[in-house]
Structure 1
Amino acid sequence: MDGKVVVVSGASMGVGRATAERFAQAGAKVVLLARRKVLLDEITEAIGANALPIVTDVTCSAQVVAAFEQIAAEFGRVDVLINSAGASRIRLIEEASDEDIAITVNTNLLAPIYTTRAAIPLIRAAGGGDIMNLSSEITLDHLPMMTLYAATKRGLNGFTEAMTRELRHESIRVALVILGAVGDTGIHENFGAEDMDRAMPVWEADGYLSRMSGTQLLTSATVADVLYDVLTRPRQLMMDVVHIRPSSS
């Protein structure tokens, strides 16, 4: 990865941050996309000279276009795009506000569409590369009160599959990563304590947690190591779908 250009959306915390740090350690130039400047400043200081922070709301098409224009001016290429930004709400669908719907749909589905669209010409300029979309094992089962999250992540799964076919002939690999529950992700900022108190008995009764990841949680650093391993496989290999979850519950 020495000298490669890696763009990470949702880079300010959780898996996005850990992944950015992992690639920077390997010598990549890492472009950090996130909304909050204070968090971007923190990770930029931690990474050092290999980090380029760009304050970007990836749900805004104009801001994504502007960010990639800056990337083009700075590097003229992108080797890897990792879409890790995510948002969720614990709601019955009849309770969901317009804001709940907009945030979830825009972050989980529109944002990776915007970034992928903007990145393709720069990946092409690099002679090929990788796009990686982070999804959830909620797409493999049903979790009550998480319909918005599940629907948007299933949309991301379909988008990823379509882009795999669309870009494969250009030496652009597109991978879908299905994650189990991550303990130190920033997604909990989406929930209030009252949301969790209400949902947990429903989830326990449903049995989802035992059917899927179990009681053990992944760490962002572990996930970052796996993502790095997948993205540094030889170019003649392709991993279309990777499911990362704890080995025991």
Structure 2
Amino acid sequence: MFLLDAPVPIAYALVTGLADGIHPVAGPMAAATAIIVFTLLVRLAMLPLAVAAARGERTRARLLPKVRDLQQRHKKNPERLKRETAALYEAEGATPLTGCLPMFAQVPFFMVMYRLFRSATVAGHQNALLAHTLLGAPLGQNWIGLVGGGLFAPPSLVFLGLLALLAALAVWSSRRTAATASAGTAPAGAAGVLARVAPFGTVVFAVFMPLAAGLYLLASGTWTAVERAVLHRRIVAPAA
């Protein structure tokens, strides 16, 4: 936890600085807009990892016939199949974990954002970001804490809109995973089922997390959707 606490003042300074700069244009939505801009800047910095993941997906697609051939030849010898498959991927510089790098890399940023909007004070000073709202919904509050004021009260409706958008992104991501699994470039079996269900976890998390963290998830998920579509068309698809 202490490792996550250390970057919080830096994130606070960045978000408040962005909010101050955006305020003349965004007005009362400046803080919420700053969170989205901050998220997009984080994802932009991670673009090289996403490109590497797309290239890894292209390599796995190219190696799929060889992998299937190994599976057929060594189906009665799982240990040898494991060794031969690992050697094949190693020779090509590919690994299944490459595709997960963007997701793993942004986890610390998400956790810092979460702690930023759960902290009453930052570096010994009052956390002024907690006073900001998005269409009347406090950025530091979660949906569970607001629903008592009425399911269809304006602040609750903001959360419901956020949850709906996150659900739409989860459906898109799940369908894409299913499509890549059928092409052999995503996990199959139980791992494949888990990969298709996992995107819906963001919807569940957003129910209990501050609105600011939900905005981070939404902005990051939207970036992922666009990024995957572009990289798949320009990097992965040409090898198909």
TM over 0.5: no
Task: Say which structure, 1 or 2, has more relative contact order (CA 8 Å, 6+ apart).
Answer: 2
Greater C-alpha Rg:
2
TM-score (norm 1): 0.34
TM-score (norm 2): 0.35
Task: Considering fraction of residues, name the structure with more strand.
Answer: 1
